[in-house]
Amino acid sequence: MASLSDPNAPPPHVVEDCRGALQLLSDGTVVRAAAAPPPFYVRLDIDDGRVEWKDVVYDAAHGLGVRMYRPAATGGAEEKLPVVVYFHGGGFCIGSCTWPNFHAGCLRLAAELPAVVLSFDYRLAPEHRLPAAHEDAAAALIWLRDQLLSDPWLADAANARKVFVSGESAGGNFAHHLAVRFGAAGLDPVRVAGYVLLMPAFISERPTPSELAAPATAFLTRDMCDRYCRLALPAGADKDHPLVNPFGPASRSLEAADVGRVLVVAADGDLLRDKNVEYAERMKAMGKDVELVVFAGEEHAFFGVKPMSAATGELVEVIRRFIAGAAA
């Protein structure tokens, strides 16, 4: 960093830019935009009263919050709803549960599944490089376990034996690691009935055909993916790090991992498509209970970017059937 007392030092300049929401300057300063999301995200007011929601803090030490949702009309104890945990995307670097696009998607999940939904924030890179966010995701589930048994706002509506852990992009990456750590029984007496990985952020040093074919106009480009990795991975790590490549040379074997039921959703126009499909196929080959659904004509993170689209409506139905399958 240039000395502040050096009058000849050049002014700081931008060396990394993440969609205008985050900039890293040459002197190491991190500049984040105001609370509003980048302009390409939707700004929709779809809060029509069908869903109640509130914000609470789940980790005061790190200033982390969770936005909790439940349908306004909930039945008695015999009609308690499944619980959907959701971790937003953003390359481990940007995003918040309060952003309107993620809020809209969670309102839709709560109303249409229907379900009790909890959308958790987590520490962001580069201020907090991985594995900080993975640690926060695990802490979120442990917090939820305790709250489901003690908080009437949740306990009155939520079925603690039907918890589903989901996430998109970076959040889908978290869902995988949480499945490996907790499986179905690791939060006893709460039961995780399934994991939902939406276009999970898996990458490797060796590019796949879908990465090589990704156009410069894609929502997620190779350049942007590389930028997120530079900002988020532990210092000195490459894209084969176990946190982003579950089958990398240093990654633990998943043969013995009891991950429970898993739904993997890939987008046909996503540069991560091949890694997502490979993940599902390799997990199936190990005997894991994994379902793969590929959405034609869609790009990376379409749930978060286009929460009110027809494709997202189809995705909500896919998730609804997955949840119903757990009950069956």
CB 215 within 8 A of CB 300: no
d(CA 309, CA 258): 34
Options 88, 134, 176, 300, the catalytic residue:
300
Is-catalytic flag, 166? no
Strands 64-71 and 51-59: antiparallel
**Cα angle 70-108-189, degrees, rounded to a multiple of 5:** 45
- 170: amino acid identity, one letter: A
- 13: amino acid identity, one letter: H
d(CA 323, CA 327): 7
Q: Which DSSP state fits 97?
A: T
Question: By C-alpha distance, which of 263, 316, 265 is closest to 294?
Answer: 265
Q: Report which secondary-structure segment, H or E, holds 145.
A: helix 132-150
Is-catalytic flag, 258? no
The alpha-carbon radius of gyration of the chain (Å, integer) is 20
Options 96, 119, 166, 169, the catalytic residue:
169
Question: By C-alpha distance, which of 55, 21, 25, 54 is closest to 40?
Answer: 21
Question: By C-alpha distance, which of 241, 95, 248 is closest to 171?
Answer: 95
d(CA 210, CA 268): 9
Options 121, 136, 270, 274, the catalytic residue:
270
Question: By C-alpha distance, which of 172, 171, 69 is closest to 112?
Answer: 69
Is-catalytic flag, 17? no
d(CA 119, CA 117): 7
Q: Where are the beta strands (DSSP E) in 38-146?
A: 51-59, 64-71, 81-87, 116-120
Place of tokens 């996430």: 167
* Active centre residues (catalytic): 169, 270, 300
